[in-house]
């Protein structure tokens, strides 16, 4: 078995049958991290205990214990998720010394299912960005072209997965941070329905939008990961009580009779030629497999980016208020605290601890929430969000899934947009509405640009209908023209 490209089932079956030990698997990927990470900067912290953790899985197998469905599968975890005794920084200076005393529910469930945690993956600071350039630990490079960004904010997860420094990765998605980097790096990325996965132990950016999800090499691996990490958690009251279906077992590429919606307002929206070709190719492929294409209208999607940037920054300004240098995290250096005004204490600590994109968002959000503007901005955004959601629900009365591009163009150059926040924000044009409406969405690799850069297509489904979404992803994957293509770095 070629461990580098092995699927989750191949790895876990081999580990359970003792054809290879979990420790050998971990060692294989550890070597890849050592060799390739200096080029990619995808890992921020390597778990020094990984081999020991894997050995513990082997001991349990030797004793005949049931070690779970992902036995010995090496995973990388985005910096947003708390990992017990392993540094968790959100890639911010303000949390650069934080070692959590507990695991996020997602991490705890992954460990319970047998995975080996290989370390933490780079991201934009507090997941704010679309290029992974706002990280305190520096930019991540796209394995398909190291002069380009991997996308963001889960850029480390996308790059690590694409170059196979891990067998699986976890990202978070507030406005596209799983799907956009997945598209830029040619991996499968899934943002489940809001409430499907517990947010307990995930550093909060915008609580009404945040969800974690898999960034992996196949739709089946995505389904297997989702089965493990989904489900109610008493520690997160927004996590749903709904039963978690056996998505991986029910995967079907049978598209006969399936209705695929195309959003009318997205047509002629100025995507580049390669992206358009990829999207049309996916649509044609689904038709050939028996699906019917219908036009739907979600006219409020035009306002998705402005609503998103009002709501996300408002929630962020509130969530990030806790980083005050007193309870935990970075504290500015004061020779003595006596006589220091509280306001100056906060000002210096937060001024030094946060990067400029995070500060911009805190200021925007605080402004939106301030008295006199609250109704005009925050409340109004909430109302439009509600209308957007209702339009989606109406659209799903006439289709099972919606197909769209993930971004308007493939990966851009490192440095190209970092000083142009507005253009950077517009990168989220096709992804934010999914979060605002709480719907599940995924990116599946389906094309390569003329410059050899990956392009994904986005599949969105109705609330808690991940099965339809995954099935369409599975069908597309089975006929994807880019199946088996690999990044240059490996």
Q: Which residues are catalytic?
A: 78, 153, 177
Angle at 231 between CA 227 and CA 236, to 5 degrees: 140
- Over the window 362 to 401, marking each residue x when it contacts ligand GLN by CB under 6 A and - when it does not, the resulting string is ----------------------------------------
Taking CB under 6 A as the criterion, the residue among 106, 127, 300, 388 binding ligand GLN is 127
Taking CB under 6 A as the criterion, the residue among 145, 173, 221, 236 binding ligand GLN is 173
Taking CB under 6 A as the criterion, the residue among 72, 119, 155, 175 binding ligand GLN is 175
Q: Which is nearer to ligand GLN, 8 or 303 (CB)?
A: 303
HSE value, Cβ hemisphere, 13 Å, CA-based, for 451 = 15
What is the rounded distance in angstroms from the CA atom of residue 104 to the CA atom of residue 202? 6
Spell 41-53 as b/e; 16+ CB within 10 A means b: bbbbbbbeebbeb
Q: Which is nearer to ligand GLN, 209 or 285 (CB)?
A: 209
Site for ligand GLN in 301-320 (CB under 6 A): 312
Q: Is 176 in the site for ligand GLN (CB under 6 A)?
A: yes
Q: Is 428 in the site for ligand GLN (CB under 6 A)?
A: yes
Q: Which is nearer to ligand GLN, 312 or 461 (CB)?
A: 312
Q: Is 79 in the site for ligand GLN (CB under 6 A)?
A: no
Taking CB under 6 A as the criterion, the residue among 45, 89, 130, 230 binding ligand GLN is 130
* Closest CB 424 distance from ligand GLN, rounded Å: 7
Q: Which is nearer to ligand GLN, 116 or 142 (CB)?
A: 142
- Laid out side by side, the sheet with 188-191 consists of 43-46, 116-121, 74-78, 168-173, 211-216, 188-191, 441-448, 454-461, 401-405, 259-263, 292-296
Q: Is 133 in the site for ligand GLN (CB under 6 A)?
A: no
Alpha-helix residue ranges (DSSP H) falling in 165-256: 179-185, 219-229
Segment near ligand GLN (CB under 6 A); pick from 123-131, 281-289, 341-349, 471-479: 123-131
Q: Is 129 in the site for ligand GLN (CB under 6 A)?
A: yes
What is the rounded distance in angstroms from the CA atom of residue 366 to the CA atom of residue 370? 6
Q: Is 89 in the site for ligand GLN (CB under 6 A)?
A: no
Q: What residue ranges in 221-287 does DSSP mark as E strands?
A: 259-263
Say if CB 161 and CB 216 are below 8 A apart.
yes
Q: Is 90 in the site for ligand GLN (CB under 6 A)?
A: no
Q: What interhelical angle do 304-319 and 380-395 show, nearest 10?
A: 130
Segment near ligand GLN (CB under 6 A); pick from 96-104, 175-183, 195-203, 212-220: 175-183
Segment near ligand GLN (CB under 6 A); pick from 16-24, 174-182, 235-243, 457-465: 174-182
What is the rounded distance in angstroms from the CA atom of residue 455 to the CA atom of residue 421? 23
Segment near ligand GLN (CB under 6 A); pick from 87-95, 168-176, 329-337, 389-397: 168-176
What is the rounded distance in angstroms from the CA atom of residue 410 to the CA atom of residue 424? 13
* Closest CB 28 distance from ligand GLN, rounded Å: 31
Is the bond preceding residue 153 a cis peptide, omega within 30 degrees?
A: yes
Residue nearest to ligand GLN (CB): 177
What is the rounded distance in angstroms from the CA atom of residue 214 to the CA atom of residue 187? 10
What is the rounded distance in angstroms from the CA atom of residue 349 to the CA atom of residue 35? 37
Taking CB under 6 A as the criterion, the residue among 89, 177, 225, 471 binding ligand GLN is 177
What residue ranges bind ligand GLN (CB under 6 A)? 127-130, 153, 173-177, 205, 312, 428
């Amino acid at each position: 078995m070629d461990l580098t490209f092995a699927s989750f089932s191949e790895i876990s079956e081999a580990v359970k049958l003792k054809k290879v030990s979990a420790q050998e698997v971990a060692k294989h990927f550890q070597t890849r991290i050592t060799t390739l990470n200096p080029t990619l900067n995808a890992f921020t912290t390597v778990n020094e205990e990984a081999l020991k953790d894997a050995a513990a899985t082997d001991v349990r197998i030797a004793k005949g214990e049931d070690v779970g469905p992902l036995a010995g599968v090496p995973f990388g975890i985005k910096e947003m998720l708390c990992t017990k005794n392993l540094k968790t920084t959100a890639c911010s200076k303000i949390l650069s010394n934080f070692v959590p005393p507990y695991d996020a529910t997602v991490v705890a469930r992954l460990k319970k299912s047998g995975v080996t945690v290989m370390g933490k993956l780079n991201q934009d600071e507090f997941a704010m960005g679309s290029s992974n350039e706002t990280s305190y630990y520096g930019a991540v490079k796209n394995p398909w072209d190291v002069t380009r960004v991997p996308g963001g904010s889960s850029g480390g997860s996308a790059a690590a997965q694409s170059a196979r420094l891990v067998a699986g990765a976890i990202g978070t998605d507030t406005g596209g941070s799983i799907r956009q980097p997945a598209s830029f790096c040619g991996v499968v990325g899934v943002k489940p329905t809001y409430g499907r996965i517990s947010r307990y132990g995930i550093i909060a950016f915008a609580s009404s939008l945040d969800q974690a999800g898999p960034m992996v090499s196949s739709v089946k691996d995505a389904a297997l990961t989702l089965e493990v990490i989904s489900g109610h958690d008493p520690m997160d009251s927004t996590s749903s009580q709904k039963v978690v279906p056996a998505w991986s077992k029910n995967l079907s590429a049978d598209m006969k009779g399936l209705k695929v919606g195309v959003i009318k307002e997205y047509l002629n929206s100025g995507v580049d030629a390669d992206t358009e070709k990829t999207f049309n190719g996916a649509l044609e492929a689904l038709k050939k497999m028996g699906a019917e294409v219908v036009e739907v209208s979600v006219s409020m999607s035009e306002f998705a980016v402005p609503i998103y940037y009002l709501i996300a920054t408002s929630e962020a300004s509130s969530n990030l208020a806790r980083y005050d240098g007193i309870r935990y995290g970075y504290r500015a250096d004061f020779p003595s605290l006596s006589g220091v005004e509280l306001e100056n204490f906060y000002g210096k600590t937060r001024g030094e601890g946060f990067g400029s994109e995070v500060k911009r968002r805190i200021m925007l959000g605080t402004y939106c929430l301030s008295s006199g503007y609250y109704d005009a901005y925050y409340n109004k955004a909430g109302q439009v969000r509600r209308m957007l959601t209702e339009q989606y629900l109406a659209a799903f009365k006439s289709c099972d899934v919606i197909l769209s591009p993930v971004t308007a163009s493939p990966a851009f150059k490192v440095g190209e947009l970092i000083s142009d926040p507005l253009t950077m924000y517009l990168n989220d044009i096709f992804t934010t509405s999914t979060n605002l409406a709480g719907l599940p969405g995924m990116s599946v690799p389906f094309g390569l640009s003329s410059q050899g850069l990956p392009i994904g297509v986005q599949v969105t489904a109705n609330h808690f209908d991940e099965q339809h979404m995954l099935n369409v992803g599975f069908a597309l994957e089975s006929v994807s023209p880019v199946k088996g293509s690999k990044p240059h770095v490996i």
